[in-house]
Amino acid sequence: MPKNQKETLVSKTTSSRVFALFRQEVIARKLVEPGDHILLAYSGGPDSTCLLSLLQALREEIPFSLSLAHLNHGLRPAAAEDEAFVRQMAQRFSLPLVIRRVKVRSYARRHRLNLEEAGRQLRYTFLEETRQKLRATKIATGHTMDDQAETFLLRLFRGSGPRGLAGIYPQTETKVIRPLLGLRRHQVETYLKETGLPFCLDESNLDRRYRRNRLRLELIPLLEKRFDPKVVDHLARAADILRAEEEFLNQIEEKEAARVMREEGEVVLLDSQALSELHLALARRLVRRFLAKLRGDLREVNFREVEAIRRLEPGQEIHLRRRIKLVRLGSHILEKKTLNQWRRYQLLWDGKGVVTIPGLGLKFSGRIVKGSELPPFNDTERACLRADLLRWPLLLRPRQPGDSYQPFGATKPRKLKEIMSDRRLPASLRPFLPVFLSGKHIIWVPGCPVAEAFKVSLADDEVFIIEKI
């Protein structure tokens, strides 16, 4: 066939049903639209070759551009042959082709990843960079219904929730489309056999050391034979149902996220107190959203971590994967490495309204009462001070080296550092707790006694109460 003649890969002798199912999926979900530039992730294997053929045929109905991208992982002896084959196919159909060679093993060692995850990261980075370079509108991958079922089972065995079991999305926000999710793998194989199209075989897909391969080669055939021949269809349908419900739950999550999460500069804060007031399912989802904000994705996030974060007590720390350390300060949970931003603050307060401590989420209010109306003693939550001795405005700042004062009941001043230690205040919280000063004198620190010089009695006419709210 001449090079300038358009080659159509769906002929009258091939399975028209495969193309009809493909076309139905593409149109129903608007995966490909007129004017699109589709970048096909082309490995040369059966799935991506089938997708190449179907996309070429679809171009007779929908005007769009098509380019190919191939990543040589350098892991298999046949990798060079696969690359050569991809070049031949691109030339055969007169399609633009971008190839990149990477060293997956080196990348995996450097980033402490397994080969599968390292390959995935490099692959999608390459595809997105190529999409931007070619100004393509979408990236197409050859995932099939069998891939969907395998993913569902893998995540089920891992204990994933609804979001994980929703599986592979037909279309993502990162402009990735999967037009073959409506097709079984055996349909792809039949299609290729009837069209006579050549393709590459990846011998690693037969290696039963990999869990996904064992699912594909052992478990799913057993389930089809002993339980239900349509188990793959049913698992894919379950994933489809969960995706729709996930989208609905995500709308609710979006609304609550504004209440329990906020950003101050580069710091992301999770309000643990607000989180505790929500339904357990929604609270867990918001913790995951918080982690996704910190990490960029939810890979490697497990149920144990989510629960540990949700139950974190003030002053406690937790160490997560990817070298992330979280700490709870007051009602807020944040990354420990961002704490320096909150080590310096100075607030002047006239005792009216509410004063908020940056980063900690601690809020304090003030009121005047008579000595005869004193509330119950609790120096963690409140301070009762002689109003007539206070100099306004009060100064609030973090602890400083050398801070000392004479606490209630003591005969002489003591170092604030020692008082905090005696009171067993969480070590991670101590550098950030507000020190209340009247003039140059420390009058109170939450969790510590008020200053002896400002102690109150039932006979006092006016008592100023600082209260944590």
CATH classification code of 265-339: 3.30.465.60
Q: What is residue 341's predicted lDDT score, i.e. its pLDDT?
A: 67
**pLDDT mean over 91-103:** 96
Mean pLDDT taken over the chain: 91
Cα dihedral value 423, 428, 431, 437, nearest 10: -40
349 in Cβ contact with 396 (< 8 Å): yes
246 Cβ neighbours under 8 A, 6+ residues apart: 162, 163, 166
Dihedral over alpha carbons 195, 197, 201, 206 (to 10 degrees):
0
More confident residue, 267 or 415: 415
Q: Does 7 have pLDDT greater than 50?
A: no
The pTM score is 0.75
Q: Which of 329, 338, 333, 335 is nearest to 295 (CA)?
A: 335
Better pLDDT: 240 or 267: 240
Annotated domain spans of the chain: 3-231, 265-339, 344-468
Beta-carbon contacts of 409 under 8 Å, excluding residues fewer than 6 positions away, are 449, 452
Checking if the pLDDT of 5 tops 70, the result is: no
Query: In this structure, how many other beta carbons lie within 10 angstroms of the beta carbon of residue 231?
Result: 19
| Overall average pLDDT of the 165-180 stretch | 95
Contact of 289 with 271, CB cutoff 8 Å: no
| pLDDT tens for each residue of 204-233 | 888 898 899 999 999 999 999 999 999 999
Percent of all residues in the chain with a pLDDT value above 70, rounded to a whole number: 96
Q: At what angle do helices 185-195 and 46-58 cross, to 10 degrees?
A: 70
d(CA 364, CA 378): 14
Instruction: Kindly report, residue by residue over 227-261, the tens digit of the pLDDT.
Output: 999 999 999 999 999 999 999 999 999 999 989 99
Task: Give CA–CA dist 178/201, Å, rounded.
Answer: 21
Instruction: Please give the residue that has the higher pLDDT: either 256 or 2.
Output: 256
| 336-346 per-position pLDDT tens digit | 887 776 677 89
Whether residue 399 has pLDDT greater than 50: yes
Q: Do domains 3-231 and 344-468 have the same CATH topology?
A: no
For residue 261, the cross-strand partners are 270
Alpha carbon 246 to chain centroid, angstroms: 15
Percent of the chain with pLDDT over 90: 76
Q: Mean pLDDT check: name the lowest of 6-20, 101-115, 173-187, 408-422.
A: 6-20
Q: Provide the CATH topology of domain 344-468.
A: Phenylalanyl-tRNA Synthetase; Chain B, domain 3 (3.50.40)
Structurally, what CATH architecture does the domain formed by 3-231 represent? 3-Layer(aba) Sandwich (3.40)
Poorest-confidence range of 62-66, 238-242, 260-264, 279-283? 260-264
Which whole number is the average pLDDT over 268-292? 94
pLDDT band at residue 1 under the 50/70/90 scheme:
very low
Residue 123 is predicted with a pLDDT of 95
On the question of pLDDT at 191 being above 90, the answer is yes
DSSP 61: T
Which pLDDT belongs to residue 10? Answer: 52
Model pLDDT, residue 204:
85
* 118-142 mean pLDDT: 96
User: Cα separation of 439 and 416, whole Å?
Assistant: 17
What pLDDT digit, counting tens, does each position of 319-328 carry? 998 788 998 8
Please name the residue ranges forming H helices in 261-394.
Answer: 272-276, 280-295, 303-310
Contact of 101 with 72, CB cutoff 8 Å: yes
Q: How many residues does the chain have?
A: 469
Distance CA 143, CA 150 (A): 11
3-state secondary structure of 445: coil
- pLDDT at res. 358: 75
Question: What's the pLDDT at 65?
Answer: 97
Confidence (pLDDT) at 467 = 95
Distance (Å, rounded) from C-alpha 232 to C-alpha 222?
12
| Across 292-309, average pLDDT | 88
- Rounded alpha-carbon distances, angstroms, from residue 424 to 34, 219, 367: 67, 55, 28
Q: Which residues of 243-252 are buried (b: 16+ CB within 10 A; e: fewer)?
A: beebeebeee
Rounded to an integer, what distance in angstroms lies between the CA atom of residue 217 and that of residue 207? Answer: 10
Identify which of 54, 9, 67 has the alpha carbon closest to the alpha carbon of residue 197.
9
CA–CA separation, 355 and 366 (whole Å): 9
pLDDT at 2: 34
Q: What are phi and psi of 31, to 5 degrees?
A: -70, -35
